[in-house]
């Protein structure tokens, strides 16, 4: 692990933001922290922190307890997500025309599809396609890029499901791509 906070010359430019919702899989718990050597950033953040805004009490209590989470928990979670990632990437790579890299630190991957427009494909999946009564929902990747035009034929797939569900989802995606090309 190498922190941006250690890079010489970035002392006043580096800002580290983290939250329990990401670090401890506590979706919806809007509790986090900011670290920076930039005094103006910290001063501004402190003003927001001292406002009469606060997360619900239950989220505060749960977040405090999460800070005591053992390393064994993280090791098990990492192992599970690596296995899910590997399964998802392997299955996606088996689909003709799909290109996908291996994520190193995320719980999702970006897959390039053999389609012109991932937005249209994603909508078609939800409105016009099913395989034995099931379909999949994907996130068009263009919205995750800051440069216009990037990600137009890419989707983002989170590997938050069990491996067998990921396999089923990719099988559905494979079948959908075959039908979409011919639609």
Q: How much is the pLDDT for 86?
A: 98
Q: How much is the pLDDT for 183?
A: 62
Q: How much is the pLDDT for 30?
A: 84
One digit per residue, pLDDT tens: the chain, 183 residues?
A: 678 888 999 989 999 998 888 788 887 888 888 999 999 999 999 988 887 677 888 899 999 999 999 999 989 999 999 999 999 999 999 999 999 999 998 889 999 999 999 999 999 999 999 999 999 999 999 999 999 989 999 999 999 999 999 999 999 999 999 999 766
Per residue, the 3-state secondary structure of the chain, as one string, reads CCCHHHCCCCCCCCEEEEEHHHHCCCCCCCCEEEEECCHHHHHHHHHHHCCCCCCCHHHHHHHHHHCCCCHHHHHHHHHHHHHHHHHHHHHHHCCCCCEECCCCCCCEEEEECCCCCHHHHHHHHHHHCCECCECCCCEEHHHHCCCCCCCCCEEEEECCCCHHHHHHHHHHHHHHHHHHHHC
Q: What is the pTM of this model?
A: 0.78
Q: Which domains does the chain show, CATH number per domain?
A: 4-66 (no CATH), 72-182 (3.90.1150.10)
CB 19 within 8 A of CB 30: yes
């Amino acid at each position: 692990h190498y922190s941006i906070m250690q890079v010489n010359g970035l002392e006043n430019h580096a800002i580290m933001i983290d939250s329990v919702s990401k670090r401890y899989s506590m979706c919806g718990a809007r509790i986090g922290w900011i670290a920076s050597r930039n005094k103006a950033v910290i001063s501004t953040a402190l003003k927001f922190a001292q406002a009469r805004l606060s997360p619900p009490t239950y989220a505060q209590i749960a977040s405090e307890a999460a800070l005591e989470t053992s390393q064994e928990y993280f090791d098990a979670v990492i192992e599970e997500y690596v296995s899910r990632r590997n399964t998802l990437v392997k299955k996606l790579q088996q689909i003709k025309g799909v290109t996908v890299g291996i994520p190193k630190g995320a719980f999702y991957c970006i897959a390039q599809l053999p389609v012109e427009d991932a937005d249209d494909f994603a909508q078609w999946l939800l409105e016009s396609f099913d395989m034995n009564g099931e379909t999949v929902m994907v996130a068009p990747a263009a919205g995750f890029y800051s440069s216009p035009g990037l990600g137009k034929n890419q989707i983002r797939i989170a590997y938050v499901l069990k491996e067998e569900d990921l396999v089923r989802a990719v099988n559905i995606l494979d079948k959908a791509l075959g039908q979409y090309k011919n639609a």
